[in-house]
Structure 1
Amino acid sequence: MGQENFKQMRKAMVVSQLRTTDVSDPRVIAAMSHVPREDFVPAAQRSFAYADRGVQVGEGRALNPPLTTGRLLNVAHVTKNDNVLLIGAATGYTAAVLAQLAGSVTAIEANAKLAATAKKNLAGVEGITIETAEHVDGWSKSAPYSVIVIDGVVDQIPQTLVDQLAPDGRIVAAVMNDGVSRLALGRTAGEHVGYQYFADCGGCPLPGFDKAKTFTF
């Protein structure tokens, strides 16, 4: 499939997926219009790069649907003044989008093979650091962060990540709530974070955030 075809698919993604579902931040739209998503998926999956669903990238992982990522970034309001922590770098797509928006991006990936792929895909892109670490641990060495983006569906947002937020920081994620994936925006208020669920939206699971099992009698 030629580059012109991918360019048209990227344009269709913006028109039919983003603009029709409250992704209104012109900087987010411009960034997602610019970054070639097909470069971040395996060759066998490139024709599905802009589909309205997750795209498998190996190691049991998938990129979030463009709509999910777009809606999270839309409410995060990332600017060049922001130091961003991305949880779940995968092959580097969302990090590449964030590089268009933020002052600096630290992207965490628990899977060493995916982290290596992300580094290769993002070679030469300024402002991004890829680190291999457990997703729930974040990367405290570069904290505090004004924005934390969890790029996948999680069962819970752990305190370890909340602790790495700056005062007046914000965190966005898709959280499973009563069996439904709900997009959430959290803002710091003192030592706590208040969350607002703003949409039900499907996404791809991000490992490492399982809630502790409880016993029933």
Structure 2
Amino acid sequence: MDFQTARKVMVDSQVRVNDVTDRALQAALLAVPREALCAPDRAFSAYAEVEVPVTATRSLMLPRDLSKLLMAAAPKPGERALVMSGAYAAAVLAQMGLDVTLQESDAEALAISAPTLSAAGVTVVEAPLDRPQSDGWDLIVSEVAVPVRPDAWLDALKVGGRAVLVERNGPVGKASLHMRTPEGWSRRQLFDATPPVLDELRPEPAFSL
């Protein structure tokens, strides 16, 4: 399969047509080998308009959704970015010149992505995703949906930092841009999206008598 041609078709038919006009982002999407970051037996579908499986609990976010999230985040070269699950997003941001750390709790997913992330200069942390391992981030991104607002993630942003993620507690989620201000956070809804929800972030059921 000609992955380079498939990559260009993906950008032309799924990214540019959805008002993703950032040239640096488009160039990064054209450069990152998405096929190397999914389950090896699903590489043939890496550039289709589907959420491509990586492991039983992880998948690649739709190119349209991820590209719209990243454009809303306005990443800048030299910024410190934390990706909470999502090797593809990490590789794209690294290609754009950011200092990127990927935090992931799925060891199998990390094993698949390790060669590509190493070549891209991404720092990898294997750890639970309920809270970042450090703070002071300019940007936080997630390719998986969160069932509730992840306050621990937002607390890890520096003032002026941004987080882009999908909040989903029903059939359809809302992609949102959160910004850290001296007074707290601001939030702006972006578009509808339906990536899988990160189960380890679901609140424990509350029982009452």
TM score, norm. by length of structure 1: 0.89
Cα–Cα, structure 1 residues 32 and 67, in superposed 2: closer, same or farther, change >3 Å?
same
Instruction: List aligned pairs for 1:1-217, cutoff 5 A.
Output: 1=1, 5-89=2-86, 92-126=87-121, 128-140=122-134, 143-176=135-168, 178-214=170-206
CA distance in 2, matches of 1:20, 1:137: 35
Counterpart residue identity of residue 133, structure 1 = A
CA distance in 2, matches of 1:196, 1:212: 27
CA distance in 2, matches of 1:44, 1:97: 22
Number of residue-to-residue matches in the alignment: 209
Question: Retained in 2: the 8 A contact 1:105–1:129?
Answer: yes
SS in 1 for 2:191: strand
Q: Deviations over 1:100-148 (max 9, x none)?
A: 124311110011222233223322322x1000111121121xx200100
Question: Retained in 1: the 8 A contact 2:55–2:108?
Answer: no
Counterpart residue identity of residue 48, structure 1 = S
Question: Retained in 2: the 8 A contact 1:82–1:146?
Answer: yes
1:85 CA displacement: 0.6
**% identical equivalent positions:** 30
CA distance in 2, matches of 1:186, 1:16: 28
1:178 CA displacement: 5.0
Structure 1: gaps (5+ residues): none
RMSD: 1.8
- Structure 1 runs of 4+ off > 4 angstroms? 214-217
Cα–Cα, structure 1 residues 6 and 124, in superposed 2: closer, same or farther, change >3 Å?
closer
Q: Deviations over 1:169-193 (max 9, x none)?
A: 1000011155421110011122421
CA distance in 2, matches of 1:44, 1:103: 30
